[in-house]
Amino acid sequence: MSGLPLQNLRWERFCQAYVHGETSGNATASYIAAGFAADGTDVSRRVGAYRLLHKPAIRARIAELENDRVGVAQRAVAMAADRLSLSKQLVLAQLARLGFASILDYVRRSETGGVVIDLSAIKRDEAAGIAELTVTEKGEGADRVSVMRIKLCDRHAPLVSLGKHLGLFSDKKDPQEHLHHLSIEDLRRHRAELEQEIDRLTLPQAHAVAETRPAASEAAEANANELERVGRSKPDVS
């Protein structure tokens, strides 16, 4: 918490205005809001605000108020984080109650050995698994009886949500998953087939390159012969 207010009320108002409110961080505006130099010029107000802001007592008081404001903000963030964590825990707990609800939680054996619905012992949270409760009365007078029916909630959706949160499901598939179940012989045969396919795709290119080389050699040889013939045909001028 911040310390005691300054004895000079206008100094205290200046510090409060400089840290809080619309004039926060503006020394001149805080100077005016504190009641200084209401009839002064803009220059005199800026000079007065600068001098007041650099007084040791003012600087110390502003530091106290700013530290207090930071502490309040940090506590607010911590409280929000706690509420978020609590909300997350409540949601996961409710999903668990829905996903793991069992009809055995709501029935018991009667004295005659039959199975009857008994909700007298369950707690409020345990009743989350009941999606529908119906009570029907039949008969008249002493023969009047009440028939109770319960319907449990759908457990699939809550369990899926829990599983996704816990990372139990993965949508990514391993492209080589089918290779994990092959034997050594199958893997070797698969490798040989791949090598044959690679050779089949690359051999035509190798033949094409080999076929172009003789043609290129013949063209080069023809060019050389032509140059030699032209050289011989020129007269000797020496």
Number of domains within the chain? 3
Please indicate, yes or no, whether residues 87 and 111 belong to a single structural domain of this protein: no
Task: Answer with the one of 71, 93, 115 that is the final residue of a domain.
Answer: 93
Q: CB under 8 Å, gap of 24 or more: what pairs does 126-130 form?
A: 126/97, 128/94, 128/97, 128/98, 128/101, 128/153, 129/97, 129/98, 129/101, 129/102, 129/105, 129/153, 130/101, 130/106
For residue 105, pLDDT over 70 is answered with yes
Task: Answer with the one of 93, 128, 145 that is the final residue of a domain.
Answer: 93
Q: Kindly state whether residue 170 falls inside one of the protein's structural domains.
A: no
Quickly count helices (H) and strands (E) in the chain. Answer: 6, 4
Please indicate, yes or no, whether residues 124 and 146 belong to a single structural domain of this protein: yes
Please indicate, yes or no, whether residues 87 and 134 belong to a single structural domain of this protein: no
For residue 238, pLDDT over 50 is answered with no
Res 230: pLDDT: 45
Residues 170-188 have pLDDT tens digits of 666 666 666 667 788 887 8
pTM: 0.37
Burial of 27 (0-12, 13-18, 19+ CB in 10 A): buried
Residues 107-159 have pLDDT tens digits of 888 888 888 888 887 888 888 888 888 888 888 877 788 888 888 888 888 88
Please indicate, yes or no, whether residues 33 and 76 belong to a single structural domain of this protein: yes
Q: 192 lies in which domain range?
A: 182-228
Please indicate, yes or no, whether residues 129 and 191 belong to a single structural domain of this protein: no
Q: Kindly state whether residue 26 falls inside one of the protein's structural domains.
A: yes
